[in-house]
Amino acid sequence: MIVLGIDPGTAALGWGLIDRTGATLRLVDVGCLETSSELGLPDRLLAIHRFIGDLIARHKPDLIAVERLFFSRNAQTAFAVGQARGVVLLAAAEAGRTIREATPNEVKMAVTGSGSADKAQVGRMVAVILRLDEVPRPDDAADALAVAIWAANSERSDDREAVGAAVMDRAAVAPMARGESSYDRAVREALARDRKTASRS
């Protein structure tokens, strides 16, 4: 299953494609679309719409996941993100793709185990889960991959009834035969490396 994750924004829109085969997640492609500040809002939205349409046509994702606007202290930022989200949802609907939405906290919880994780923590865990040598840059791209990971883990077709709309109940869906899943082991090892690095500095 190919999943396209989107971190919406009018100035910078992160996107990430992953392939889920069984329990394995693999990076397909990732990037960040930046629109020129010299363009008016209608032209920026048009550029986003065309770009998302091209991504869908090229990679044919089975599922498109978009970060939901949850809260923002800056009304102007929230308004811009909302407009970008609308354009992404339109392009997905035009292509007849299944759409999933999650709040930033839901995505952070699914990827790091903490709804209050910062961008650096999200980026590190994205790299661990996808077995990448480096954290994807910029942050918008890493955030988009986190959204895709959330969606891929929430859409296990064999266990649809056991999966909530936001965070998968891992114990109910896939009981751990030996006390620790590969995902949990990767998280534990990443945290141990972080602690070792912190103790050296």
Report the b/e string of 53-76 with b at 16+ CB within 10 A: bebbeeeebebbbbbbbeeeeeee
Quote the number of domains for the chain: 1
| Among 162, 177, 135, 168, residue whose Cα is nearest residue 149 | 168
What does the pLDDT read at residue 198?
A: 63
Q: Which residues pair with 65 in a beta bridge?
A: 5, 100
> Stretch 139-165: mean pLDDT, rounded?
75
Question: How far apart are the C-alpha atoms of 170 and 131, rounded to whole Å?
Answer: 20
How is residue 157 annotated by DSSP?
Answer: G
Active-site residue 7, yes or no? yes
pLDDT band of 8, cuts 50, 70, 90: very high
Question: How far apart are the C-alpha atoms of 33 and 15, rounded to whole Å?
Answer: 8
Half-sphere exposure of 21 (CA within 13 A, CB side): 4
Question: How far apart are the C-alpha atoms of 139 and 137, rounded to whole Å?
Answer: 5
Q: What digits encode the pLDDT tens for the residues 49-99?
A: 999 999 999 999 999 999 887 655 667 777 878 899 999 999 999 999 999
- In this structure, what CATH number is given to the domain that contains residue 143? 3.30.420.10
Question: How far apart are the C-alpha atoms of 157 and 172, rounded to whole Å?
Answer: 14
Q: What digits encode the pLDDT tens for the residues 96-131?
A: 999 999 998 899 998 998 888 889 999 999 999 999
H-helix or E-strand spanning residue 102: strand 98-102
Q: Which one has a higher pLDDT value, 81 or 188? A: 81
From the list 101, 140, 143, 155, the catalytic residue is: 140
**Residue span of the structural domain in which 102 resides:** 2-200
From the list 67, 101, 139, 155, the catalytic residue is: 67
